[in-house]
Structure 1
Amino acid sequence: MKLKMLTKSLMIFFAVVLLATGCKEEAHAETTDLRLLLTTEQFTSERSLIPESQKMVITDYHLSGTGPAGQTFSVDSVEKTIAIGNLMIGRWTIEAIGYNADGLPLVSGTITTLLSKVTSTATLHLTDLVGTGTLETLVTWDPDQVAEDVSLQVVLQDQQGNTIDLNVPVLDSGNGEVLLASPLQSGSYLLQLRLFSQDMLVSGATEAIRILSDTVSDGTVHMVIGDLSTNFEITVINDTMLPIEGTITATPASPVAGDQVTLNYTPTNLPEGVSLGDLEIDWYCEGSIAQEQSNTYTSIPEAGTHRYDVVVRHEKLGSLGNTTLLVTMPY
């Protein structure tokens, strides 16, 4: 008898709970699930003025959102596709930040989307670089090849071509070096260097730089002051950020004095959907613009060693890069 009474009491209790639960659900706004796909570029590079490649790899994401009636969420994930459940139907503003393995923020993105039973998926593009990093570039030259009035002209530009103020300290002319250091917003930059002696340009260099949040982008740029040699040397340096790498060929391969030399730049591993015609390719000689918007450059180099820099950029963020070669012409 006691068992029957206990069973009956439990049945009544569960019925009350179910009834209360049903009433509670009717009092809330309708909810659904949201499926988010995060997209961003991968950062790879082998250049000296670029942070270590692993520092530019996104390993995890933090997402936060604000929706109807002030409802919010905050989610951490190592996956690019993220499902978020039990969100109120309506318009949501969602922000995502991508971090590297050291916990440093790299990129962010924001989307405003209408969540409903029909539209329950969204793609959030991470396109904004985050934070401030530091540039530390040691510029060196042979002090025995320049006069005491040696000077260095420095121009720093962002990827949009805007000139950025960069303080140039007093040159250490005795050791032939100067350290360029400055905090910079995360992004890609172009550093142009021109070394003068007795008011004459004796060397130049152009370097692509990538700045990450809370990271030092350091390296050394040696200003080559041309000497005469019978060797014809080519140095190829990989491009930055986007995997746009290139090679430079010269015709003729072993020129003699007075020969016309044609240099040809060829990208070797463009990302899918990017072709040669999508790139802006400019040639620099000794730090000065020589030719714009062309993958070839023809000239008759004077005797000595000359530095040629090919600067390549694409409309995608972080695509700025350069390839360098040294051309040595005999007498």
Structure 2
Amino acid sequence: MKHVRTMTGCIVLMMILVISFTSCKEEPGRSSLRLTVHSNEDQNRSILPQDTPLEVSRYAVTGIGPQGSTFEMQSTSPTMEVEGLLMGNWEITAVGQNLHGVNLVSGSATCSLTSEPTNALIELDSLMGSGTMNVEFTWDTSKISNPSIDLWVTDSDGLKTKVNPTTSNYINGAVYYSATYPAGSYMLQGRLYSGATAVAGCVEVVRIVGGKTTEGAIALDLDKYPEIPSTLTLINKAGTPIECSISGITTSVAAFQEITASITVPESESNEGLGVLWFLDGEELSSSLDCTFTPSTGTHRLDLIAKGALLASSGSASISFKAIVAGTPGYPVLANTVTDNTDGLKISGNTKIAFLPDGKILLASSIHASLQICRIVRDSLEVIRTYTLSDGFNTSMVTDMLVDKNTSKVAIADNLNPGITLYQYNTSNASLTKLFSRDNVTFIYEGGETTFTSISSLMLDPISGILYNVVPGTNMLPYSNFFATQASEFNMYSYKYWFMDPDTISGITMSPFLNRAAWYSTEQNVIKIGKRTSDGQLFGYLREYASPETPYLTGISAAEFISDTSLVTGGDTALNRFEYSQLLPDTNEDGWEQVETWLSGADGIGEMQGIVQLFTDASRSLLYVLCEGSKNIKVFSIQQGSDTLMYQQTIALEGFTPSEAVISPDKLNMLIVSDTNNQLLIFSIPQ
């Protein structure tokens, strides 16, 4: 019985104690909370979601406290006060929203409320949700062939990932990239290639917002108008915006020369904590406040990306500039040496070259038996199309190529048969269409025919439409109808021939106004100059000048009219200028006088040996003398009005043996090929 009473007593005691505690329990005290919300969002972006403001306009705050108590409130002010909260520990969450109620950023904090009012600070440091990046890259297809593009995405932690275009439309010059990413700022980097050559690029900062699509269009423009932003706002690690300036670069800079672009911080500010990345045409160059590089010719894009400490913060600027060749206008500057088999180029052995009307290049290699259409890209050559014998093209043993810019027709001579083939060039797709071919039959007569055994060069008379071809070792100039509309019209079965004239023709040339022509003989050291007759014949009224009566014509191998009344010849070691006179001294007839002679090693011009070509610039203010023997180019100025020559400069070719040079239609480039070097030289011409 005693044991039982003891147990009963314990139970009663516990009940009393519980009742006592319950009776003595007080309602917890209440307090107030002053809450400040601080957003780390910065708004300096490059590509943003459309119709989605990124400014935090209001705040949604929730809290969970003692005994499961909660509160919710919204405010447009970052500072708010909540009263009547139970004292104790509270978990508080704040969401920053834009004016449309889209959640942008969130943060949370834990605080303990006491009898005294409590202040709490919540950092909004977490971006919310995931969104879609949808960016289109476009370019001008007329300037890019065989395009490809490399893309990379770098997140806020610096993790760089190479990605592939989601949709590719290379034919129309566009690719698209679309992907879903967590909210934040991303660096999108792109490099556009034409063949194997990088021709353009960009870097953009893309802002992703939860539940939204960020769309952008980036034009990779090779001809964008140069533009330099005057200032750039960068964010330092403390989150302070600093107005900076860009120095060291202008809208036009010197190509092939080192330049340094810099970010300049005001004297009142510190540059500590500024994180900067520089990109040239989409390729990263530097991560310091200075960026040093050497640009090739053409338009470039220099991107500057600044990453600050603020959440998803960045400043960015795109600097467009044009790099041009520095130097004296018209004097070529070597830009690049291209070697055989580089990126598919065939430039080995007896290479022939011509510019097409749209500025593309026609390249023929005898060793490779190939015909290629190329373009100049970033001071190099890119192959657009290659033709061989298997394509039905006459690509073997090519001796000369002639391009008519008015009709876009191309005549190609070869010594395989020998013969001439006429093509039509299509500028829309950079292709050749074979029109007609002719063989070596010059004339058909009863019982036989006249033929030629080889061709060395071509010349077109645009007035008559006659295409002349030089037959080495003869004084025969066979005719072809360049403007033929059917195959039967192409071979005219006729030729120009000087009966009883023992001199053989090595080359021919025509005056700028098409009313005079000349032919020369290297073997006989003679030049013969004529004019168009009343019936349209081009080689009428020939005047003959030969060594030794006319000195310094030894080995004559080039001739060029620099005007209708001045003809320049070049030979082994001499350059001569002949001038037309309506009445020669001590005669009663018109003719040509030898008025100037420049000799190799004399008058300060240096070595000038083995002249193989004479040609002028478009304005005929400069004469270029291409020398195979001395491996250089001599530049002479042409005095307007008198046509007097004045030596200006020698451009050494450094061991390269030249055979032919051409100037681009836009006057910006000179290309030189060789019969022996398996290389091609690309020069830029300062304007």
Residue 109 of structure 1: aligned partner: 107
**How large is the RMSD of aligned CA atoms in angstroms?**
3.0
Matched residue type, 1:68: P
Residue 286 of structure 1: aligned partner: 281
Kindly state the Cα deviation for residue 267 of structure 1 after the two structures are TM-superposed.
5.9
Which residue of 192, 197, 203 corresponds with 1:195?
A: 192
Distance in 2 of aligned mates of 1:134 and 1:198: 31
Number of residues of Structure 1 aligned to a counterpart in Structure 2? 298
The percentage of aligned residue pairs carrying the same residue is 28
Query: Compared with structure 1, are the counterparts of its residues 298 and 168 closer, same or farther at alpha carbon in structure 2 (3 Å cutoff)?
Result: same
Query: Compared with structure 1, are the counterparts of its residues 64 and 158 closer, same or farther at alpha carbon in structure 2 (3 Å cutoff)?
Result: same
Which residue of 160, 166, 171 corresponds with 2:168?
A: 171
Kindly state the Cα deviation for residue 153 of structure 1 after the two structures are TM-superposed.
0.6
**8 Å contact from structure 2 (residues 63, 91) kept in 1:** yes
Q: Which has the larger radius of gyration?
A: 2
Distance in 2 of aligned mates of 1:195 and 1:142: 11
Matched residue type, 2:307: R
Kindly state the Cα deviation for residue 280 of structure 1 after the two structures are TM-superposed.
1.0
Which residue of 103, 119, 127 corresponds with 2:125?
A: 127
Kindly state the Cα deviation for residue 323 of structure 1 after the two structures are TM-superposed.
1.3
Unmatched tracts of structure 2, length 5 or more: 1-22, 326-687
**8 Å contact from structure 1 (residues 46, 240) kept in 2:** no
CA offset digits 1:209-262 (Å, max 9, x no partner) = 1111222222211113369xxx86435796699856654223577544444322
- How high is the TM-score relative to the length of structure 2? 0.40
Distance in 1 of aligned mates of 2:123 and 2:263: 32
Residue 302 of structure 2: aligned partner: 308
Distance in 1 of aligned mates of 2:264 and 2:320: 17
Residue 220 of structure 1: aligned partner: 217
- How high is the TM-score relative to the length of structure 1? 0.80
The answer to whether the aligner puts 1:329 opposite 2:323 as a matched pair is yes
Matched residue type, 1:301: P
Matched residue type, 1:185: P
- Structure 1 segment 1-331 matched on structure 2, within 5 A: 27-45=26-44, 47=46, 49-51=47-49, 55-118=53-116, 120-148=118-146, 150-164=147-161, 166-225=163-222, 233-234=227-228, 246-251=244-249, 254-266=252-264, 275-292=270-287, 294-331=288-325
Query: Compared with structure 1, are the counterparts of its residues 232 and 50 closer, same or farther at alpha carbon in structure 2 (3 Å cutoff)?
Result: closer
Distance in 2 of aligned mates of 1:316 and 1:87: 32
Residue 489 of structure 2: aligned partner: none
Matched residue type, 2:310: K
Residue 4 of structure 2: aligned partner: none
Kindly state the Cα deviation for residue 320 of structure 1 after the two structures are TM-superposed.
2.5
Matched residue type, 2:206: I
Between stretches 217-226 and 178-187, larger displacement belongs to 217-226
**Which of the two has greater strand per residue?**
2
Kindly state the Cα deviation for residue 146 of structure 1 after the two structures are TM-superposed.
1.7
- What SS does structure 1 have at the residue aligned with 2:178? strand
Query: Compared with structure 1, are the counterparts of its residues 216 and 328 closer, same or farther at alpha carbon in structure 2 (3 Å cutoff)?
Result: same
Distance in 2 of aligned mates of 1:78 and 1:69: 29
- What SS does structure 1 have at the residue aligned with 2:172? coil
Query: Compared with structure 1, are the counterparts of its residues 54 and 182 closer, same or farther at alpha carbon in structure 2 (3 Å cutoff)?
Result: closer
- What SS does structure 1 have at the residue aligned with 2:228? coil
**8 Å contact from structure 1 (residues 308, 325) kept in 2:** yes
Kindly state the Cα deviation for residue 105 of structure 1 after the two structures are TM-superposed.
0.3
- What SS does structure 2 have at the residue aligned with 1:174? helix
Matched residue type, 1:51: P
Matched residue type, 1:96: A
Give the structure, 1 or 2, with the largest relative contact order (CA under 8 Å, sep 6 or more).
1
- What SS does structure 1 have at the residue aligned with 2:142? helix
Residue 5 of structure 1: aligned partner: none
**8 Å contact from structure 1 (residues 236, 323) kept in 2:** no
- What SS does structure 2 have at the residue aligned with 1:184? strand
Query: Compared with structure 1, are the counterparts of its residues 220 and 126 closer, same or farther at alpha carbon in structure 2 (3 Å cutoff)?
Result: same
**8 Å contact from structure 1 (residues 313, 320) kept in 2:** yes
Distance in 2 of aligned mates of 1:170 and 1:52: 22
Find runs of 4+ consecutive structure 1 residues off by over 4 angstroms.
164-167, 235-246, 251-254
Kindly state the Cα deviation for residue 100 of structure 1 after the two structures are TM-superposed.
0.8
Unmatched tracts of structure 1, length 5 or more: 1-23
**8 Å contact from structure 1 (residues 236, 324) kept in 2:** no
Matched residue type, 1:311: I
Matched residue type, 2:216: G
Distance in 2 of aligned mates of 1:110 and 1:232: 47
Distance in 2 of aligned mates of 1:319 and 1:184: 17
Matched residue type, 1:41: N
Matched residue type, 1:285: L
Between stretches 277-286 and 159-168, larger displacement belongs to 159-168
**8 Å contact from structure 1 (residues 152, 193) kept in 2:** yes
- What SS does structure 2 have at the residue aligned with 1:276? coil
Distance in 1 of aligned mates of 2:40 and 2:309: 13
**8 Å contact from structure 1 (residues 44, 56) kept in 2:** yes
Kindly state the Cα deviation for residue 196 of structure 1 after the two structures are TM-superposed.
1.5
Distance in 1 of aligned mates of 2:251 and 2:140: 28
Matched residue type, 1:190: M
- What SS does structure 1 have at the residue aligned with 2:177? strand
Distance in 1 of aligned mates of 2:208 and 2:265: 23
